Amino acid sequence: MNNKEQHQWGKYYYQGLRKNRNWALEVLHNLKSEIPTFQEIFDQETFYMFAFLVVVGTILFVIFLAKVVGVKIKEHPLEVNRDWGEPVPAHFFTFPWQEAKNRKEQEETRKAKKTKAE
């Protein structure tokens, strides 16, 4: 057998055999471990208080922008100039394929009447 040292596969993933680690990933990993999770910060009551304060703060910020800074919302008039057509109530038992068939039959009868009249 080999006289080499036994290879431990897990060392690669636990930084034993990794020589060139990216420093940005190292910093990101350290920061991630320092930041507390959502569950550690909030329980149900404190989350509701936080959400309420965010809403109140947003309303106050908007009032500040409107009164002090002078931000104004401009609304332009909406003009729609088009033919709205004739409102016709829908028929319960009429389907598109039946309408196409009926329309085709009506056109054929009109053409037949025109040819008879001439």
Domain count, the chain: 1
The span from the CA of 57 to the CA of 48, in Å, is 14
Chain segment 34-53, per-residue pLDDT in tens: 898 889 989 999 999 999 99
Structural domain includes residue 33: yes
pLDDT tens profile 82-115: 877 777 777 778 787 888 888 889 899 988 888 8
Confirm whether 46 is domain-assigned: yes
- Show the tokens assigned to 29: 């990993």
Domain with 35 in it: 11-69
Q: Please indicate, yes or no, if residue 98 is contained in any of the structural domains.
A: no
Q: Give 31-50 as a DSSP string.
A: HHHHSPPHHHH--HHHHHHH
